Copies of this chain bind each other. A is one copy, B any other.
């Protein structure tokens, strides 16, 4: 069917999975990593950096933006993108929360 039964899950489960889904593509990881290292950049920078077509980069940026992971402002003819600081902290919290739920079992209570 290709459609996810979102109503079966909690809001938080849907949120963290939707963030993970957007990060689930190497190009989008590469975009995020590039933004983390240079602070801000424009579409054409990423075209040169990643070797994907302009339309493809634009599409990935759109997905990152609609997930609130990045933000962009118009700067003349170009669009300046950067990490969304607020959401980035929130995402970090969501994932840390998940990771820290793990208690290494001392009783061997595992497969």
- How many A residues, CB 8 Å from partner? 54
**B-side contacts of A99, CB under 8 Å:** 88, 91-92, 95-96
Q: How many copies of this chain are found per oligomer? A: 2
- Besides A16-B29, A17-B23, A21-B24, 11 more A-B contacts (Cβ < 8 Å) are A8-B27, A8-B50, A8-B51, A9-B30, A13-B30, A22-B24, A24-B24, A40-B110, A81-B111, A83-B102, A85-B105
Chain A: residues with CB nearer than 8 A to chain B? 4-6, 8-10, 13-14, 16-18, 20-30, 32-33, 36-37, 39-40, 50-52, 71-73, 75, 80-83, 85, 88, 91-92, 95-96, 98-99, 101-102, 104-105, 109-111
